[in-house]
Homo-oligomer: A and B are copies of this chain.
Amino acid sequence: MVADAWLIQLQENGYRLTEARRAVVRTIQTSSRALTPVEVFDIARKKYPALGLVSVYRTLEKLEELHLIQRVHQPQGCQAFIAGGSGHEHLLLCQNCGQVMLFEGDDLDGLINAISKKTGYIIRDHWLQLFGLCEACQ
């Protein structure tokens, strides 16, 4: 019935497709903001009341391992997850409603080279996150 890429990914990695996993996947996929495990639990249970919180944790773990979701770091905490992007993308968060957008196309080469030269570090990775107000919240 569902030709869902995430479910296929789970299956191809040897995981079984269960109602609990479908419920968690659907919940995260349809959210425009990052959700904590308990939030996923509360939302998903509306459609699948038998769901247990433990299964939420276990499914999130697998989805993160497959890079289908990613953890969102914020000043208030780092327990929330959002659908992961494809390739190299960064996050843009609305400080009012929590909406998360992904963007790509950062060109930090100049900056990174300068810092590398100044500090002697070999730089292998970077995190960039922007905070602001989405159009609706301005």
When distances are taken between beta carbons in the complex, the residues of chain B under 8 Å from A95 are 124-125
**A89-136: which residues lie under 8 A (CB-CB) from chain B?**
92, 94-95, 101, 103, 105-108, 111-112, 114-116, 118-135
Contacts of A116 in B (CB 8 A): 132
A124 neighbours in B (Cβ, 8 Å): 95, 131-133
A107 partner residues in chain B, CB cutoff 8 A: 111
Kindly identify which residue among B103, B115, B125, B132 contacts A125, using a CB–CB cutoff of 8 Å.
B132
Chain A 44-72, CB-CB to B under 8 Å as 1, else 0, gives: 00000000000000000000000000000
Given A121-B132, A124-B132, output 10 extra A-B contacts at Cβ < 8 Å: A92-B123, A106-B111, A112-B130, A116-B132, A122-B133, A125-B131, A126-B129, A127-B129, A127-B131, A128-B128
